[in-house]
Structure 1
Amino acid sequence: MQLNQKNLPAVGRSIKVPAYDRNEIKAGIVHVGVGGFHRAHQAVVVQQLLAAGGHKEWGICGIGLREGDRRIADIFARQDCLYTLITRYPTGEVDSEVMQQMTDFLLAPDDKQAVVDRMANPETKIVSLTITEGGYNLTADGEFDLGHPDIQHELKHPNDPKTIYGYLSAALRKRKDKQQTPFTVMSCDNIQHNGDVTRKMLLSFLSAQDEGLAAWVGEEVAFPNSMVDRITPVTTGAEMEYLKDQFDLEDEWPVTCEPFLQWIIEDNFSNGRPDFDKVDGVQFVQDVTPYEKMKIRLLNAGHSVLGICGALMGIQTINACMENEQLRTVLRKFWDEEATPILDKVEGIDLEAYKDSLQVRFSNPNIRDKVSRICSASSAKLPKFLLPTIEENLSKGGSIDMATWLIAAWCYYSDKQIDQNGQSLEIIDAMQDQLNRAAQNTTADALSFLRVREVFGSLIDNENFTSLYATTVRRFYEEPVISVQLQRW
């Protein structure tokens, strides 16, 4: 049976479906970047609010800004924006539920004005984002890249947006011109101080395009920081087959996730907010900083430790990495000796218990998060997840041994692009070619990989780091078998 609104009553005979009437829901949230993570995290919180009763003004209108979003747009058109969430527990228990909190989906390449108008609609109270690290148009030193061709186009043609900044500026301009209260811009990406970053980037863009609008946005628009957490692997054919076998349900793009969900949100909104904190795992705080730093430095960096090492060892999934005693040891050692000592106090969190819980989550045999997914876009991830730990330890005299070793492993990974069994690695990275060229020159110039300043910034200028890195990377090229390398830890 095809998943759609017409078939929902029949679908509900075999699988959990929402009891609330979607026809009564208004989309107070416009969300840009409707990927698996959004559908397993923020959208789930909204569904639970709607299911609890009330909150009818907080449904979601999804937005796809790129041509690459056409597949999800086409599927949502056939499925009336419905999809199935499959939650897999370490015990083997599985919960499956149809999600219907999304009232509509708009594909910007088909109708840019419709997207601008939807954001500008007074019903829209929040525009939220999961556009990945690469979507923020950041330079290596954290500034806005005004020279990007799409940005230059938008500066000259404000009525023909291409990036998130063009759309936000066009919609906010309409709100300002009509003297309407602006919407909140809420980033849900894994970027430390994501709200502050979004604000800085948008104001940089507006300062070059429309100084009057920049001043208004700076005064009136809220950009709450938030920390998000839920492991959500890429959907595979296995999930679709599971739904067919168990429920005779055809869903073209379900989502699988772990049971854990956490969302810490700075209580700073322009135009009202939902009571997200009525949902387990969500809380509003005055300062998100210690929570996001904890998550990025432990979970995200830990994922990269396992991902790069696991890829080179020929291991396919994160849970399989956790079955390797050497990798479990190196992961905990990195956490305990390099990441934890420079974390701030996190109110209400026992860091040792948190790290224990991460190990359990990473080990979940029913999630099977692919190593290739974790390693994807490493050039965007590691400057945020790992390099700040190195830089802070350098400034405070802490240990950088294991983090430096991981950078050396990443260099070798980028150079050879094969695992220790001779199998080709699946590398997904916008900077793959540039990283490969730099890494290939390592035997002639030990610091060649670090000269990619778009990734490493000024780290190459720190002699304490480069001295250790040069020794480490040479040793890696002399003995590239990861299991042998790991013995020193």
Structure 2
Amino acid sequence: MTKASLPAYDRKSLTPGIVHIGLGNFHRAHMAVYLDDLFALGESHDWAIIGAGVRAPDAKMRDALKGQDCLSTIIELDPKGKSARRIGAMIDFVPVDPTNAPLIAAMTRPEIRIVSLTVTEGGYYINAATGSFDPSHPDIAADGKTPGKPTTAFGAIVAALKARKAAGIPPFTVMSCDNLPGNGHVTEAAVIGTARLSDPAFADWIAANVAFPNGMVDRITPATGPRERAMAASFGLADDPVPVTCEPFRQWVVEDNFPQGRPALEKVGVTFTPHVHAYEMMKIRILNGGHATIAYPGGLMDIEYVHEAMANPLISGFLNKVEREEVIPYVPPVPNTDIGEYFTLIHHRFSNPEVADTERRLCLDGSNRQPKFIIPSLRDALAAGGKIEGLSLVSALWCRYCAGTTDSGTHIEPNDPNWDVLHPLALKAKDTPDAWLGMKEIYGDLAGNDAFRAAFGAALNSLWTKGTKATLQAYIS
């Protein structure tokens, strides 16, 4: 293989304009790549990234990236041939500190006009039962008591905004790049909610003066392990401990709400539109909901990789029928998009053997993902009097997975932050399905819907008595 390409611009010409919190694989394969492309055009060189983290493990990422001058290795897994590049959009990474003082100082710098985040779907302190920000969470409550030494990203953002206001510096835009419905609104609630605990008047000022654009992000980026490091070595980068692999496809759709300016990202394929919600719903219902649909049957059938699951006619047939009959009919129109063609693209992306994404990764954190990716489609189908058997089966498959054994009896290691709650409930649901549906933070009032209860109970009973393969076959036929 050829060696990895290097940045096509002089990195010494870059100056920072963005602080980004959360330097995981997705950010480095997505936002950082778009900026790298833009810088290569000779554009927006005053918008380089300063990296940051708020958790102790983030220090390891800082050490790894600082050890290679903040360059990231990105390997695109095109079935026609892999390619690797070193991207240089990030020029520094602030020290990770328990009080977040270095991060607050970086965000207070006048040239920083955007603070962006990828802190995962579960990192926004959302109360699962209410679907809204939870100011009583111990981490947030602690920041309310000691706002000068915050431990969360949102507490640090509040502290930096306050310092900028005191210094007469305009506020930065706060931009979530996480895969959440209405991610700008969710971030705004977290920042304002955190501020309100210590300074209600300042919380009102944030609400009136700080922009929180919504955005939709998309690119499949598997976790990094020995396979990915070996791949980097094949491109002459054996010393990179944190390479990123990703599919060729990427998409970014954002509201154009940046009072202090922004990079000219429209020149490298980013869509700026007031209709982010339409793109977002399409992606979350079809792609993320599709991931959940193929995850648990694959896990229960001892299938390791996503592309192997897609090659199984029962799983791909299950995905096709659920999407076309129970999901896509309730996805509103999207500008300049054929939704049927979009699903065909998703099917192709899931089937890419080079990505080698794992079923276990897709099964992770169902307690956070099911309410966002599956339950809304189920509610819409019920409201329309449509079919719900497939979506009910998706939920039953998740329950069966959380019982902790595959159909062959293989032990499933805990795979959810709430596994200690989910596992005993799943075992109890084998005989009493309503025990699972009683999780109001997941199902809300659906536990009282007779049609859903019946469909879920029948699906779960079939999974236990007949197994996953026979259950899928019965649904498809």
TM-score between both structures, scaled by the size of structure 1: 0.94
Q: Which residue of 2 aligns with 1:233?
A: 222
- Identity rate of aligned residues, in percent? 38
Match of residue 130, structure 1, among 93, 110, 118: 118
1:418 deviation in Å? Answer: 1.9
1:246-265 equivalences in 2 (<5 Å) = 246-247=235-236, 249-265=238-254
**Structure 1 segment 114-153 matched on structure 2, within 5 A:** 114-140=102-128, 141-153=130-142
Partners in 2 of 1:432 and 1:456 — Cα distance?
17
* Separation in structure 2 between the aligned mates of residue 168 and residue 434 of structure 1, nearest angstrom: 33
TM-score between both structures, scaled by the size of structure 2: 0.96
1:26-425 to 2 correspondences below 5 Å: 26-91=15-80, 93-109=81-97, 112-140=100-128, 141-247=130-236, 249-280=238-269, 282-415=270-403, 417-425=404-412
Asked if 1:487 corresponds to 2:452, the answer is no
- Report the alpha carbon displacement of residue 163 of structure 1 after superposing the two structures with TM: 1.2
Per the TM alignment, residue 477 of structure 1 is displaced from its structure 2 partner at its CA by 2.1
Question: Aligned partners of 1:246, 1:267: CA distance in 2, in Å?
Answer: 38
- Three-state SS of the structure 1 residue aligned to 2:355 is coil
Structure 2: distance between partners of 1:14 and 1:318:
28
Secondary structure at 2:9 match in 1 = coil
Deviations 1:227-266 (A, max 9, x none): 1111111112122222323426421110001110100111
Supply the distance in 1 between the matched residues of 2:3 and 2:219 (Cα, whole angstroms): 26
Q: Which moved more, 1:212-221 or 1:419-428?
A: 419-428
Distance across 2 between alignment mates of 1:348 and 1:248: 40
Which residue does the alignment assign to 1:440?
427
Equivalent position SS for 2:4: coil
User: Post-superposition shift, 1:111?
Assistant: 6.0
Is residue 436 of structure 2 the alignment partner of residue 449 of structure 1?
yes
- Between the aligned partners of 2:109 and 2:323, the Cα distance in structure 1 is 46
The ranges of structure 1 where at least 4 consecutive aligned residues each deviate by more than 6 angstroms after the TM superposition are none
Inter-partner Cα distance in structure 2 for 1:396 and 1:245: 53
Question: How far off its partner does 1:213 sit?
Answer: 1.2
Take 1:454 and 1:79, find their aligned partners in 2: how far apart are those partners? 43
Distance verdict in 2 for CA 1:28–1:384, change over 3 Å = same
Q: CA separation in 1, counterparts of 2:4 and 2:127? A: 46
1:372/1:427 contact within 8 Å kept: no
For the residues of structure 1 that align with 2:203 and 2:448, how far apart are their CA atoms? 36
Check conservation: 2:59, 2:96, Cα contact below 8 A. Answer: no
2:97 aligned counterpart, secondary structure: helix
Does the C-alpha gap of structure 1 residues 245 and 288 become closer, same or farther in structure 2, counting only changes over 3 Å? closer
Q: Which amino acid aligns with 1:244?
A: A
C-alpha distance after superposition, 1:316-375 (max 9, x if no partner): 011111110111111011110111111111111111111111111111111110111111
Note the alpha carbon deviations across 1:179-218, whole angstroms, 9 max, x for none: 2211111111111111011112222222222112111111
Cα distance in 2 for residues equivalent to 1:426 and 1:37:
24
Aligned residue pairs: how many?
Answer: 473
Distance 1:143 1:99 in 2: 36
* CA-CA distance at 1:110 after TM superposition: 5.6
Partners of 1:167 and 1:279 lie apart in 2 by 31
Could you tell me how far 1:108 is from its partner in structure 2? 3.0
* Paired AA for residue 259 in structure 1: P
Q: Give the unaligned 5+ runs of structure 2.
A: none
- CA-CA distance at 1:80 after TM superposition: 1.7
TM superposition shift of 1:297: 0.2
Specify the code of the residue in structure 2 equivalent to 1:434: V
SS at match of 1:54: coil
Contact 2:7 2:88 in 1 (8 A): yes
The answer to whether the 8 A contact 2:74-2:87 is kept is yes
**Equivalent AA in structure 2 for residue 299 of structure 1:** L
CA apart distance, 1:454: 2.7
Alignment partner of 1:347: what SS? coil
Is the partner of 1:441 in helix, strand or coil?
A: helix
Contact 2:94 2:106 in 1 (8 A): no
Question: 2-side partners of 1:87 and 1:374: how far apart?
Answer: 20
Preserved contact between residue 220 and residue 270 of structure 1 (Cα < 8 Å): no
What do the CA deviations read for 1:356-401 (whole angstroms, capped 9, x no partner)? Answer: 1111111111111011111111111111111111112222212211
Q: In structure 1, give the amino acid aligned to 2:469.
A: S
* Equivalent pair of 1:438/1:451 in contact (CA under 8 Å): no
Which residue, 445, 451, 454 being the options, matches 1:464? 451
| Offset from partner CA, 1:433-470 (integer Å, 9 cap, x none) | 11112112113422111222233333223333223222
The structure-2 alpha-carbon separation of the partners of 1:248 and 1:392, relative to structure 1 and needing over 3 Å to count, comes to closer
